[in-house]
């Protein structure tokens, strides 16, 4: 298959591209390598895929660079907001599968820079959909988020729950993506699957998320801020489980079951075991053999107190649900973190 993965310098995109490359799939990767967080981490992820920073910097936007590790993987620096480039790449690529993970991430940052979310998550997403009207891939898979459940109080969160109360602009853009994808699936018969990811963590994770922030602070003997006075629960989901789920979903192409139903689907991808934040910190303390210094803070704007995935639909579809234990996941993350930063990062 010919597969396009957007957002490949990002956390999930990097892991997915690497897994597909080891399977010898024909992978084209794009990312704009923005500076929302440390670009060196993004370039190091790409280097692990065999794409060197010097080659990217010397290339023109849109020019593909062939990996020096994986013979069937290539990468181009592209912003999904550049309609001309996106249209050219997707049209010429004749991709069977498009996995769209590129987006402006972060709940709290959406309170600071809302325009970047409209640009990337709305306009950029629309650009992809507009090109797909003509390109007609076999399957369009895109990243949504558990944040769409917003202020819902019913747990666990199921795909058929009402999602009309987003707690952040980020959540609102992700719910908008789901509605936009459904509409284009209906109008232009584009099979689409949205994936509501729940608190992904693991090696190469984002430095703006709790595992990374907490680990760094504990190692440096600095205090960590724990919001909602520690009364938070998150459905922490290990990255390898997320990638395994996405891989299995690729050939599960939605079909219309009636004239009134689009070939569109949405699935939760979570560990289905919400973890108290204080329990998460205790596991980190054990892995690091250090105690955390904790500042308790009230709930922040945009945050929700609990996330919890009902993954029964995913189980029925692919015969798999995430199941990596928190202890094992944290051990692997800490091992990577220490190795990565001890080498000078």
Instruction: Give catalytic residues, as residue numbers.
Output: 170
Residues 198-224 as b/e (b if ≥16 CB within 10 A, e otherwise) read bbbbbbbbbeebbbbebbebbeeeeeb
d(CA 212, CA 201): 9
3-class DSSP state of 9: coil
Whether the CB-CB separation of 213 and 207 falls below 8 Å is answered with: yes
**DSSP-derived secondary structure for 138-170:** SEEEEEEEGGGGTT--SSSB-TTS-----SSHH
Contacts of 337 (CB under 8 A, 6+ apart): 203, 212, 215, 216
Please report the DSSP string for 175-212 in residue order. Answer: HHHHHHHHHHHHHH---EEEEEE--EESTT--TTSHHH
3-state secondary structure 277-289: HHHHHHHHHHHHC
Pairwise CA distance, residues 168 & 312, whole Å: 27
Check: CB of residue 166 under 8 Å from CB of residue 148.
yes
In Å, the largest CA–CA distance within the chain is: 60
Helical (H) or strand (E) element with 127: helix 125-135
Please answer whether residues 239 and 325 qualify as being in contact, where contact means their C-beta atoms are separated by less than 8 angstroms: no
> Under 8 Å CB-to-CB from 121, ≥6 apart: which residues?
103, 104, 170, 173, 174, 176, 177
Distance of CA 314 to the CA centre of its chain: 17
Residue with tokens 């980190």: 284
């Amino acid at each position: 298959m010919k597969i396009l993965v957007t957002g490949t310098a990002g956390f999930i995109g990097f892991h997915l591209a690497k897994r597909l490359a080891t399977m010898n799939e024909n992978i084209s990767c794009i990312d704009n390598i923005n500076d929302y967080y440390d670009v060196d981490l993004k370039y190091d992820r790409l280097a692990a895929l065999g794409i060197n920073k010097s080659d990217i910097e010397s290339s023109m936007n849109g020019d593909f660079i062939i990996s020096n590790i994986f013979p069937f993987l290539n990468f181009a620096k592209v912003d999904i907001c550049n309609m001309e480039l996106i249209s050219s790449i997707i049209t010429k690529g004749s991709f069977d599968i498009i996995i769209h993970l590129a987006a402006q991430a972060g709940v709290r940052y959406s309170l600071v820079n809302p325009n970047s979310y409209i640009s990337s998550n709305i306009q950029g997403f629309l650009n992809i959909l507009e090109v797909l009207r003509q390109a007609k891939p076999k399957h369009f898979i895109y990243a949504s988020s558990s944040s769409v459940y917003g202020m819902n109080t019913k747990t666990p969160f199921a795909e058929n729950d009402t999602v009309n109360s987003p707690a952040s602009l980020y959540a609102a853009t992700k719910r908008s993506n789901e509605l936009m994808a459904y509409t284009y699936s209906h109008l232009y018969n584009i099979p689409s699957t949205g994936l509501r990811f729940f608190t992904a963590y693991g090696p190469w994770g984002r430095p703006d998320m709790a595992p990374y922030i907490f680990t760094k602070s504990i190692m440096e003997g600095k205090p960590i801020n724990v919001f909602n006075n520690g009364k938070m629960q998150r459905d922490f989901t290990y990255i390898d489980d997320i990638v395994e789920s996405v891989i299995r979903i690729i050939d599960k192409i939605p079909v219309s079951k009636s004239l009134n139903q689009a070939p569109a689907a949405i699935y939760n991808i979570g560990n289905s075991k919400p973890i108290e934040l204080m329990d998460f910190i205790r596991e980190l303390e054990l892995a690091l053999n250090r105690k955390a210094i904790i500042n308790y803070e009230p709930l922040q704007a945009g945050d929700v107190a609990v996330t919890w995935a009902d993954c029964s639909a995913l189980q029925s579809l692919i015969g798999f649900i995430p199941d990596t234990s928190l202890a094992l996941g944290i051990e692997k993350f800490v091992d990577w973190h220490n190795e990565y930063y001890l080498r000078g990062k």
